[in-house]
Structure 1
Amino acid sequence: MTAHAHPHGAESFGITPETTPLTWLYAPGDHPDVVRKALSCGADIVIVDLEDAVPPDRKQYALEATAELLTSPQAVPVHVRIHAEQDIPALAGLPGLSALRIPKVTHATDIRRPAALAPGTGLYALLESASGVEHAYAIATADPAVRGIALGEADLRADLGVRDDRGLDWPRSRIVVAARAAGLAPPPQSVYPDIRDLDGLAESCAHGRAVGFLGRAAIHPRQLPVIERAYLPSQEEVEEAEEIVQAAETDAGALALPDGRFVDAAVVATAHRTLCLARRGA
C-alpha cells in the first residue's frame, strides 16, 4: 500500500481543524451565572453538570435552570452531564443542547435507554467502574448516537482501590483503544482536581497525550490554556510532520528521510494528524 492510498488520515481519527475540541469545561447546573461565565471562557465545549457538582436538594432546580438556558442556541457547544435518566425528557430536543453525557455507564444497555429517550442527540458515555472499562468497546458501539467515551477517574480510582496514578494507565489505554476500534475520536482526559497546580496539570497532560488522549476536561478556566498548550503540537513536531508529508508527496511508497528515519504510510498518516491539529491552533 502506498502512502497516498493509506486509509487512516487525520479524518479517520475523528480529527479536523474545525471540529476537534481540546478543552471541555465543567460548570455546576445549579449556578446559572457560573454556566453563563463558562460559556465566555474560551472552552471548546461547556459541560453543564447535574451530577456530582450539584447537591441532592438542588438537582431539580439545576435541571430546570439548565433547561431554561438551553431553550435558545448557545455560541459554544453545550453538553449536559445528567444525574439520572429522568433528566433526559426535560432536555432532549432543546435548541441549545449539543449532547448528553451519561455517567456511570457499565454496559451497552446503559446507553441504549438514553438513546431511545433522546433520538437524534449525541451521547458521551462516562466509564467510572471496572465493569465500564471491561465493556468499553461494547459501550462505544452500543448505538449510533454514541459520539465518544471517557473515564471518570475519581470514581474509577475508588472502585479499583488505586492509590498511585500509574495504576490507571491500563484503563486509560483500554478506552483509547476501544474508542479507536469503534471509529470514535480519541477520548479526552479526565479532570485534574488541583486547580492551583498548573505545573502538575501540564505534566499530567503530557502523559495523557503520550497514552493517546486528545484534550482534557477542566473544572476551572485557568486550566484551559495549559491543556490547550499541552495538546497542540510543538513547532518542532510541526516541522517534522511537514518534512514527512513533503517527502511522501514526492515518493509513492515507503521511503527514508535524510537522517535515516524510515517513513511508511502509517507514519505519514500520523504526520497529517499533527498538521491538522496545528491548523486548529493557528
Structure 2
Amino acid sequence: MSFDLGPALLFCPADRPDRYRKAADRADAVIIDLEDAILPANRARARGALIGHPLDPERTIVRVNPVGTPDFALDLAALAETAYRIVMLPKTVDASQLRQLARFEVVALCETAAGVLAAPSIAAEPNVVALMWGADDLVASLGGSSSRFADGSYRAIARHARSAVLLAAGAHGKAAVDGVFLAIPDLAGLAAEVADAVASGFRATACIHPSQVAVIRDAYRPTADEVAAAWALLEAAASEDGVFAYQGRMIDSPLLRHAEAVLRRAAPTDPSGAVTD
C-alpha cells in the first residue's frame, strides 16, 4: 500500500455535505471529519451525510472517532455502507488499535504523548499508509496551554513531536503528513512552514481552509529553476564515478537523492527543465 493523494489535504466537517463537493474540487484530497469538527449532538446526522453524499473514494479520507469511544463503533457501521477505504484514526496510542481497522488503509494521527512515543510501532503496522501529527492535542495531553509562541513558531515540544513522527514514518517506508496551520489569514507563515515540511521530507500537509490549498501546492511543487538544477546535477553525475565536485560543492549519493526527490515532486518535465502540462 502507498499514500500518494497529493500534497494538500483539506478537512471538511462531515455534517456539512454542502461543502463536500467544493472541498473535493479545490483540494488534492478531502478529509471528511466525524471527530473534532462535529459537535457530539450532530454526529448521527454527520454519519447520515457521509453515507448519502458520496465522493470519489480514491481521493477521500474519513476521520473517525478514537478507538474505545461509542462513536467509533457507529462510525465503522456507517463506513460499511460506503465505498470509503482510507481512514484517519485520531489519538492513536498503540499498534493494537490499528488491528480494529484491518480492512482499511489508515492514516494514524499521533497527537498525544503516548501516540508520539508509540509512533515507530504504529508505523510498522501493515495497514498504516501514513502518519500524521497534531500539535494542539499533544500539548493538551501534557496539560499545557499553547503549542506555539506569539510569533507563530512551534515550541520545542511540538518540534520534537513533529520530527519524531516524521522519523518513525520514514523508518518504516510510510508517508508523513504535516499538521494543520490554524492562523488562516497568515498565508506567509503557512508558506514558510510548508516549505520546511517539504525540505524535511513530509509527503503532504493537512489544511482547514480552501485558501490554504494553493499555498501548500506551490510549496510542494518545485520551481522551473529547481527542476532545471536537479536535471543538470543528475546529468553531470552520469559522467562521474563516485564523489565529484560540481559548482563549488562536493556531490555524493545523498545529494543526488535530494535532486531525485525534487524531480519526483515536479510536474512532468523535459531534460531542459521546462515544465510541461
Specify if TM > 0.5: yes
Does the residue aligned with 2:93 lie in a helix, a strand or coil? coil
Which residue, 183, 186, 201 being the options, matches 1:212? 201
User: What do the CA deviations read for 1:115-168 (whole angstroms, capped 9, x no partner)?
Assistant: 2xxx1x2111001111101010100112x1110000022201222324531321
User: What do the CA deviations read for 1:224-261 (whole angstroms, capped 9, x no partner)?
Assistant: 0011112222333223211221012222422221x231
Correspondence list, 1:104-119, <5 A: 104-115=91-102, 119=103
- Normalising by structure 2, report the TM-score: 0.85
Does the residue aligned with 1:279 lie in a helix, a strand or coil? coil
AA of the residue aligned to 1:277: R
Question: 1:182 & 1:132 partners in 2: Cα distance?
Answer: 16
Alpha-carbon deviation of 1:76? 6.1
Q: Which has the higher contact order (CA 8 A, sep 6+)?
A: 1
Q: Which position in structure 2 is the counterpart of 1:181?
A: 171
Correspondence list, 1:1-282, <5 A: 19=4, 21-41=6-26, 43-70=27-54, 74=56, 77-83=59-65, 84-86=71-73, 87-92=75-80, 94-95=82-83, 97-115=84-102, 119=103, 121-142=104-125, 144-160=126-142, 161=144, 162-164=147-149, 165-167=154-156, 168-185=158-175, 187-257=176-246, 259-279=247-267
- Conserved 8 A contact 2:105-2:129: yes
Question: 2:216 & 2:59 partners in 1: Cα distance?
Answer: 18
Does the residue aligned with 1:188 lie in a helix, a strand or coil? strand
Shift in alpha-carbon separation, 1:253–1:92, aligned structure 2, 3 A: farther
Alpha-carbon deviation of 1:90? 2.1
Does the residue aligned with 1:38 lie in a helix, a strand or coil? helix
- Conserved 8 A contact 2:34-2:62: yes
AA of the residue aligned to 1:104: K
Alpha-carbon deviation of 1:92? 3.7
- Conserved 8 A contact 1:173-1:212: no
Does the residue aligned with 1:183 lie in a helix, a strand or coil? coil
- Normalising by structure 1, report the TM-score: 0.83
Question: 1:223 & 1:253 partners in 2: Cα distance?
Answer: 42
Shift in alpha-carbon separation, 1:211–1:269, aligned structure 2, 3 A: closer
- Conserved 8 A contact 1:77-1:98: no
- Conserved 8 A contact 2:13-2:38: yes
Does the residue aligned with 2:25 lie in a helix, a strand or coil? coil
Give the length in aligned residue pairs: 255
Alpha-carbon deviation of 1:75? 7.8
Question: What's the % identity of the aligned pairs?
Answer: 36
- Conserved 8 A contact 1:254-1:263: yes
